[in-house]
Structure 1
């Protein structure tokens, strides 16, 4: 069942914590979004990253978004206790474009991210 617009807005607000962290190079807002046991999967410059969300935090804190960083949040689906969000990123660290998918669950009335999977656009891979 599709949920109300109000819930879509709540999911978007939660996902914007992710964007804020990446844009500012500060993992603190994202730490409010992700559960402690959240996982990530994706390839960064051709190398598989998988496991704890802590790797994402380290990347964000080390690199920062950069002056030309842009992002767009698309709430793909909200189904009562589950949501899927796509985040398009351009210019992370001044050179990388990503497409991220975030899987959120509504836990104790709050939207929390339990998994992040991403694709680095092939034209931004440094080999």
Structure 2
């Protein structure tokens, strides 16, 4: 059952932690969003990344924030305990555009991310 609109706002607010981490080049905020067991799947510059969310933290912590970075959060689905969020990123590290999909669960009254999958826009792949 679709949840109330206020819950969409709560999911978007939780997803802002992801965007803030990427924008500032620190995993500090994302670590508040993701559960320890969260997984990551996607291709970065043509190489498959998969496994622990620790890889995402490493990527964010080793690429400095960029003043030209932009992001948009789209909350696609909110059920009682499940949410799907799409985040569009432009200019990560000054060159990469991504589409991220976050799978979130409401745990103990708080929205937490359990999985992140992403696509790097092909024109931003460094060969």
CA distance in 1, matches of 2:36, 2:25: 19
Structure 1 unaligned segments of length 5 or more: list them: none
- Equivalent residue number for residue 101 of structure 1: 101
Deviations 1:52-104 (A, max 9, x none): 00000000000033111000000000010000000000000000000000000
Structure 1: which 4+ aligned runs deviate by more than 3 Å? none
- Equivalent residue number for residue 48 of structure 1: 48
CA distance in 1, matches of 2:104, 2:64: 24
Under a length normalisation based on structure 1, what TM-score does the superposition of the two structures give? 0.99
CA distance in 2, matches of 1:64, 1:58: 11
CA distance in 1, matches of 2:67, 2:10: 27
3-state DSSP class of the match of 1:126?
Answer: coil
CA RMSD in angstroms comes to: 0.5
CA distance in 1, matches of 2:37, 2:3: 26
- Equivalent residue number for residue 12 of structure 1: 12
Structure 2 unaligned segments of length 5 or more: list them: none
CA distance in 1, matches of 2:76, 2:98: 17
Across the two proteins, how many residue pairs are aligned to each other? 127
More deviation, 64-73/18-27: 64-73
- On the 8 A contact 1:96/1:121 being kept in 2, the answer is yes
